[in-house]
Amino acid sequence: MPDINHLKRLSDVKSNVGVKFLTPAAFPGSHCPLHPALALAGNIKGLSSLVVGTPECATYSRVVLTNTQVRQGELHWTYVLDASEVVFGCRQGVMGALQKMDQAGAKAILLLATCVPELIGEDIENIVREVQPKLSARLICVMLGHFKCNSFPSGSWKTLQAIGSLMEPRRVQPQVVNVIGRSPDEKHIPMPPVLSALQQQGFSLRCLSPGSSLEDFLAAPDAALNVVLSPFTDPLAAAMDQSFGTPAFRLHNVYDVAEIDALYSSIARKLKFQWRNEFYHERMEALALQEQAKKRLHGCRYICAHIGPVRTIPLAAYLAALGMEPLLLHLEEFWPDDKHWSETLNALGYDPLVCHMVNSGSDAPLLESLSPDLCLGDLSGTKFRVPCVPYLSDLYGMSGYERTNSLLKRILRTLDHLFMPKAGGGRRGIA
């Protein structure tokens, strides 16, 4: 059985390139950054796309966009490189395709360059600069070489950053708040209480996410602040803060009650109002659960597997403050600000191994060999003999005290199950 000596400690990782696969069983497909970039392009009203790549990329792009509703002024085209262009470049062909899309009525075009254009050194950004003065449509581009990132999240945040480059300064409207990371059509996930409370205070919420329109994104600099609910939108919020001075309040990576208190107070101070004890019950429950967790989780050794779009390292830093010891963390992405969170976790005395997990059947035996007490997240399709805290991806879309409550309840419920007496036997428990 292969060992884990090839993995790095968190303190040794400076970018996503340093995060190694746990086993050699890597695969592309949904882990390719083209997938979320195309999904975004197909779900932002008014945005067109041009994929530049091989026939495989073209076929894949059509699969991703199969159920996309194409509206007027939207085109989703592919430019397939021929053998000559792979050797000598595709500059003229791509410029011609962009001009044809402009003539066909595209208003804004997202050019998605896949692996081969990056490998042959094609200067896509220069192509965009050269052809832009000849077009009515506005152009942006994203480089999506899978060989540079190993995973998919960069396809989302790089695309949103590119859309942000189309923004221009606007007069600030003090009653407008951008909610970055929640769709205006997101009915299946309840509105976080903090957003409902802002509405009750008379603030207008503009949702920026798949399902929003390009016009919504372009109007975003007029907001008094950005409430950030998703790690995929965090780099866009950071860019807006730098370009327009729009302050960002990040709710997707905060769990500690005192930190939530400070964040909510800062939002109210910035918007010049006072809360009315709207969160009293949720806050008191979070305080009680947090004290209970400090007593019960101290010394618990865990691994973190697949937890969906929830940020791994900020979560590990919070749990470390409660006394939980991370042995190994699955990182779908090493985010731009993860260095800060890594330093926070290291300062608490923990330096776990980090990896990509992409094949549960091969990964499970290695994870079991670490003898963890718990596994956070899912390892589907295997007979994994480590107790798991499932469905942590459901935390996505929650924020504030209710998010902390949900997290701690799931962990404590799993511990309760471990300590339940077996029929005809003793009790189970963590080491």
Locus of tokens 């910035």: 270
Same domain assignment for residues 244 and 333:
no
Percentages helix, strand, coil for the chain, rounded to the nearest 5? 45, 15, 40
Q: Please report, in angstroms and rounded to a whole number, the separation of the first and last CA atoms in the chain.
A: 25
Query: Is residue 20 domain-shared with residue 73, that is, in the same domain?
Result: no
Is residue 430 a part of any domain in this protein? no
Residue 26 has a pLDDT of 62
Inform me whether the pLDDT recorded for 88 exceeds 90: no
Three-state SS annotation for 263-304: HHHHHHHHHCCCCCCCCHHHHHHHHHHHHHHHHHCCCCEEEE
**What average pLDDT score do residues 291-307 get?**
95
Report yes or no on 160 lying in a domain: no
Q: How many CB atoms lie within 10 A of CB 263?
A: 18
Whole-angstrom Cα distance, residue 346 to residue 320? 10
Cβ count near 167 (within 10 Å): 19
Residue 50 DSSP one-character state: E
Domain-embedded: residue 154: no
Contact 236, 242 (CB under 8 A): no
Among residues 149, 183, 198, the one where a domain terminates is 149
Amino acid identity at 1 = M
How much is the pLDDT for 87? 86
| Structure confidence at residue 216 (pLDDT) | 96
Mean pLDDT of 227-245: 95
Domain containing residue 257: CATH number: 3.40.50.1980
Rounded-to-integer distance, Cα 111 and Cα 164, Å: 15
The owner of tokens 């107070």 is: 265
Task: Judge whether residue 294 has pLDDT over 50.
Answer: yes
**Domain assignment present for 199:** yes
Tokens at residue 418, please? 């471990």
The sign one gets for the Cα dihedral 219, 224, 227, 228 is positive
Number of domains present in the structure of the chain: 3
pLDDT the model gives residue 1: 43
Contact 180, 251 (CB under 8 A): no
State whether the Cα torsion 391-394-399-403 is positive or negative: negative
Domain end point (choices 101, 117, 149) = 149
Q: Which domain holds residue 242?
A: 173-271
Contact between 427 and 308 under an 8 Å Cβ cutoff? The reply is no
Q: What pLDDT is recorded for position 64?
A: 84
348 and 413 both lie in a single domain = yes
Report the C-alpha gap between 249 and 234 in whole angstroms: 10
133 domain residue, yes or no = yes
How, if at all, do strands 8-9 and 353-355 pair? antiparallel
Per DSSP, helices labelled H in 310-427 are: 312-321, 338-347, 360-369, 401-418
334, part of any domain:
yes
What value does the mean pLDDT of the chain take?
A: 90
In the listed set 229, 251, 271, which residue is the last one of a domain according to the structure? 271
Q: How far apart are CA 390 and CA 13, in angstroms?
A: 27
Q: Which amino acid is at 56?
A: E
DSSP assignment of 91-143: HHHHHHHHHHHHHTT-SEEEEEE-HHHHHTT--HHHHHHHHGGG-SSEEEEEE
CA distance linking residue 118 with residue 18, whole number of Å:
20
Give me the percent of the chain exceeding a pLDDT of 90. 66
Dihedral sign of CA atoms 287, 292, 295, 297 in order: negative
Domain match, 54 and 119 both: yes
Provide the 3-class DSSP secondary structure of residue 386.
Answer: coil
Do 213 and 44 form a contact (C-beta atoms < 8 A)? yes
Give me Rg for the CA atoms of the chain.
23
* Whether pLDDT at 153 is above 60: yes
Question: Percent of the chain scored above 70 by pLDDT?
Answer: 94
114 neighbors 144 (Cβ within 8 angstroms): yes
Tell the residue number behind the tokens 């929003």, with chain if given. Answer: 212
Same domain for 37 and 12? no
Instruction: Indicate the range of 158-167, 209-218, 410-419 predicted with least confidence.
Output: 410-419
Residues 300 and 402 in one domain: yes
Q: Give yes or no for residue 110 having a pLDDT over 70.
A: yes
Let me know whether 258 and 322 are in one domain: no
Measure the CA angle with vertex 75, ends 100 and 208; round to 5°. Answer: 130
The region, left, alpha or beta by phi > 0 then psi within -120 to 50, assigned to residue 39 is alpha
Shared-domain flag, residues 34 and 14: no
Span 128-137, pLDDT tens digits: 999 999 999 9
**Candidate from 123-127, 138-142, 151-155 with smallest mean pLDDT:** 151-155
Instruction: Examine the pLDDT at 120 and tell me if it is beyond 80.
Output: yes
CA separation for the pair 78, 292 (Å, rounded): 55
pLDDT for position 291: 97
266 and 320, same structural domain? no
Per-residue pLDDT of 163-221, as tens digits, reads 999 999 999 999 999 999 988 877 777 889 999 999 999 999 999 998 899 999 999 99
Contact between 208 and 178 under an 8 Å Cβ cutoff? The reply is: yes
Give the Cα separation of 334 and 160 in Å (integer): 17
For residue 375, list its beta bridge partners: 303, 388
Tens-place pLDDT, residues 242-251: 999 999 999 9
Residue 130 lies in a domain: yes
Same domain, 128 and 184: no
Residues 314 and 385 grouped into a single domain: yes
22 with 33, same domain?
Answer: no
Q: Which residue has the higher pLDDT, 380 or 25?
A: 380
Q: Looking at residue 283, what is its pLDDT? A: 97
Would you say residue 427 lies in a domain? no
Task: Please write the tens of the pLDDT for every residue from 135-148.
Answer: 999 999 999 887 77
Minimum mean pLDDT among 31-40, 181-190, 257-266: which range?
Answer: 181-190
- Residue whose C-alpha is closest to residue 220's, from 237, 203, 235: 237
